[in-house]
Amino acid sequence: MDRRKMLGLAGAGALGAAAGGAVGLQVFDDPPPARANDPGAAVPFYGARQAGIVTPAQDRLHFVAFDVITEKKAEVAELLRKWTAAAARMTAGRDAGAIGAVNGVPEAAPDDTGEAIGLPPSGLTLTVGFGPTFFRTAEGKDRFGIADRRPEALADLPKFAKDALKPEISGGDICVQACAHDPQVAVHAVRNLARIGFGVVSVRWSQLGFGRTSSTSRTQQTARNLFGFKDGTANLKAEDTKLLDEQLWVQPGDGPEWMTGGSYMVTRKIRMVIETWDRTSLAEQEAIIGRNKGEGAALGKAGEFDEPDFSGETIPRDSHVRLAHPQFNDGARLLRRGYNFVDGSDGLGRLDAGLFFIAYQRDPRKQFVPIQTRLSRQDALNEYIRHVSSGLFACPPGVSAADDSWGRALFV
């Protein structure tokens, strides 16, 4: 059933109800079909890789981390099957399930919550990942008999200098990254997955974001973070296929076979002290970042994509761009896919704003961990940021056919 051509069998509500409770039909017209390059268009769900990683970053994010609250492996496997089916429907612009009477039972709650009726697919992608605690709880319990399938690369992140993590918005057993060009579509997807998961999973934390910082394709312009700087100029991009095999996708032999073709996701909610930043001079801001604010060029260079020259002192030694550069990190790179956030205010007269950092990589032990270790100790930017949440998830390869499902290989 298409959410744009809904045939809802309804009780009291529909046409004919006034004539004595007769069953009515609610019919919707198709919207205009999505055009090429239309932000309303659908991104294919099935494929060798999960969508939402190298997919050109959409404008909006709703990220959710769930705790699994059942101890029954079969219930988890069944939920992942249901979720996969719903994800395939929703990313195609359809509803998560019937909106009208379910299986002809008018007393049943709808299988879709309805707020995306009439909206196009909007580039929705849903990307799933499994956290370390999915395999073995923090208390060491192997709930589902899959502890031995936990990849070594999914090793708990170390505590970094200046970490100010809040456990209640960190971690999680399963995450879903919903990206779309319309926040209502992303929110609808997360909410319906949560609804389907009732009794099996519980929302641990969730985060909305906007203004994709870090383009993931050369077809996109670089967006700006809330420091006002372009972010993601040197990001790994979808077009760098050779580099992606080296740096992004888990290769055969890297670890458990079920992760081959997948990727590891690190999330960090980075609160920015924007009020202090906004009182810093442009020259100092640029020295801290190591790029100029307007064009995004490395200091001493003219164009955004000109290669930085780290030979002299033009780019300060404690600047962000220098410390994060592959040249000083054994060539390690990340595919970043972060979003700006504003979560209202903090009760102290300040906006609660920053960057929800998301990075994908082949092995966090060789990529995010050493890079962040260096940044957390030396980065001049640390005066203006605080990491308040952290997540680590193993994102399996894509779902290849209609009878496959998220994480199926993990449960075989």
Residues 234-253 that bind a copy of itself (CB under 8 A): none
User: Which one of the spans 43-51, 135-143, 320-328, 343-351 is the region binding a copy of itself (CB under 8 A)?
Assistant: 343-351
Please provide the DSSP assignment of 325-393 as one string.
SGGGTTT---EE-EEEEEEEE-SSSSEEEEEEEEEEES-TTTTHHHHHHHHHHH-GGGGGEEEEEEEEE
Ranges within 352-371 binding a copy of itself (CB under 8 A) = 353
Output 28 or 46, the one with its CB closest to a copy of itself.
28
Output 100 or 151, the one with its CB closest to a copy of itself.
100
Radius of gyration over every alpha carbon of the chain, rounded to an integer in angstroms:
23
CA distance 337 to 395: 14
Exactly one of 34, 155, 163, 228 binds a copy of itself (CB under 8 A); that residue is 228
Contacts (Cβ under 8 Å, ≥6 apart) of 323: 374, 375, 378, 379
Q: Which amino acid is at 340?
A: N
Please provide the DSSP assignment of 121-148 as one string.
-TT-EEEEEE-HHHHS-TT---TTS-GG
Ranges within 8-37 binding a copy of itself (CB under 8 A) = 8, 10-15, 17-18, 24, 26-28
Ranges within 283-312 binding a copy of itself (CB under 8 A) = 283-287, 291-295, 297, 299-300, 302, 312
Output 173 or 240, the one with its CB closest to a copy of itself.
173
Question: Does residue 99 belong to the site contacting a copy of itself (CB under 8 A)?
Answer: yes
Output 209 or 398, the one with its CB closest to a copy of itself.
209
Q: What share of the chain is helix, strand, coil (3-state, %, to 5)?
A: 25, 20, 55
84 close to 405: Cβ distance less than 8 angstroms = yes
Exactly one of 48, 138, 282, 402 binds a copy of itself (CB under 8 A); that residue is 282
Strands (E), 151-200: 174-180
Ranges within 370-409 binding a copy of itself (CB under 8 A) = none
Ranges within 186-215 binding a copy of itself (CB under 8 A) = 187, 190-191, 194-195, 198, 202-208, 210-211
Measured CA distances, 310 to 291, 319, 322, 323 (Å): 12, 11, 7, 10
Output 163 or 304, the one with its CB closest to a copy of itself.
304
* Count of residues in contact with a copy of itself, rule CB under 8 A: 94
Neighbours of 35 (CB within 10 A): 9
Per-residue x/- marks for a copy of itself, 41-60, CB under 8 A?
Answer: -------------------x
Output 6 or 126, the one with its CB closest to a copy of itself.
6
Exactly one of 275, 307, 330, 383 binds a copy of itself (CB under 8 A); that residue is 275
Ranges within 120-159 binding a copy of itself (CB under 8 A) = none
CA distance 331 to 334: 10
User: Which one of the spans 244-252, 335-343, 361-369, 395-403 is the region binding a copy of itself (CB under 8 A)?
Assistant: 335-343
Helices 183-196 and 73-91 cross at an angle (nearest 10°) of 150
